[in-house]
């Protein structure tokens, strides 16, 4: 029986399916008894549909112990020509780009402003709080998430769990832990970025690294 255990949530399972080769988006429809009614997959025209269905079945069984009837899995393979808005000039999925990162400190208060862009769109995220060094890093990450929230459906939101800059060997690395919250549950995400310019820029890149895969999925909804 394809019942989803309470130990897992839908967002976590959908995220696992999105990690399969050629899969661009995954959506699971659950019945009132917590069984899987339908699984919808959007994929690039690489593998055959039957192989993608087998990959979905194997992933659900191996990672979550959920057997699923292949008839419940539907696959839509969409070419780049049919989805021009989903690719850039090099044939790659578009990603959010950093336009600017600013920090204003006034006494004991600080304000972070992060502007992100995709194509012709620019959105600014803002976060305010105490001006301590640790809090400034969190404000930059929160401002980044505030900007990202303007690109995604209102039924989802990102919550900042923690962010830090740590020494790793000879390098400094920014690390961000994020939670994606949706109607079907929560999904934990993590990202990192080497510090190349400054801590603030690296915090933004680490935050985007954590959410970029899920962002591509959310943009298809």
CATH number, domain at 152?
A: 3.30.160.270
Look at residues 54, 86, 118 and tell me which one is the last residue of a structural domain.
Answer: 86
CA distance 179 to 157: 8
**Cα–Cα distances in angstroms (integers) from residue 8 to residues 5, 33, 35, 97, 212, in the given order:** 6, 15, 13, 32, 22
pLDDT digit string, tens, across residues 206-216: 999 888 767 66
Do 114 and 213 lie in a common domain? yes
Do 110 and 59 lie in a common domain? no
Do 58 and 103 lie in a common domain? no
Q: List strands edge to edge, sheet with 23-30.
A: 23-30, 36-43, 73-77
Do 79 and 101 lie in a common domain? no
Let me know if residue 36 belongs to a domain: yes
Strands 36-43, 23-30: pairing kind: antiparallel
Do 33 and 78 lie in a common domain? yes
Kindly state the helix (H) or strand (E) to which residue 209 belongs, with its residue range: helix 199-218
Do 73 and 108 lie in a common domain? no
Do 204 and 113 lie in a common domain? yes
Token reading at 42: 């959007």
What parts of the chain have a pLDDT lower than 50?
A: 7, 80-91, 220-221
Let me know if residue 15 belongs to a domain: yes
pLDDT at 5: 53
Let me know if residue 81 belongs to a domain: yes
Look at residues 58, 86, 114 and tell me which one is the last residue of a structural domain.
Answer: 86
Do 52 and 142 lie in a common domain? no
Let me know if residue 158 belongs to a domain: yes
Do 101 and 59 lie in a common domain? no
pLDDT at 37: 85
CA distance 218 to 221: 5
- How many domains would you assign to the chain? 2
Let me know if residue 5 belongs to a domain: no
Q: pTM for this one?
A: 0.58
pLDDT digit string, tens, across residues 45-70: 777 888 889 999 998 888 888 888 88
Number of other residues whose CB lies within 10 A of the CB of residue 155: 11
- Residue 112 is part of which domain span? 97-218
Query: What CATH number does residue 24 fall under?
Result: 3.30.300.30
């Amino acid at each position: 029986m394809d019942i989803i255990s309470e130990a897992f949530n839908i967002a976590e399972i959908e995220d696992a399916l999105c990690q399969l080769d050629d899969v661009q988006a995954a959506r699971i429809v659950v019945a009132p008894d917590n069984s899987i009614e339908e699984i919808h997959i959007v994929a690039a025209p690489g593998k055959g549909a039957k192989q993608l269905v087998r990959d979905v079945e194997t992933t659900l069984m191996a990672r979550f112990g959920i057997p699923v009837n292949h008839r419940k899995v539907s696959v839509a393979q969409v070419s780049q020509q049919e989805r021009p808005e989903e690719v850039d000039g090099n044939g790659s999925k578009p990603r959010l780009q950093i336009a600017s990162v600013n920090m204003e400190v006034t006494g004991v208060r600080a304000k972070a402003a992060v502007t992100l862009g995709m194509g012709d769109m620019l959105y600014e995220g803002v976060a305010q709080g105490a001006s301590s060094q640790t809090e400034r890093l969190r404000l930059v990450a929160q401002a980044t998430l505030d900007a990202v929230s303007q690109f995604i459906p209102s039924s989802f939101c990102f919550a900042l769990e923690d962010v830090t800059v740590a020494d790793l060997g000879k390098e400094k690395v920014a690390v961000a832990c994020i939670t994606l919250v949706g109607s079907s549950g929560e999904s934990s995400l993590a990202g990192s970025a080497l510090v190349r310019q400054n801590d603030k820029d690296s915090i933004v890149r680490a935050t985007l690294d954590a959410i970029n895969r899920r962002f591509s999925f959310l943009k298809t909804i």
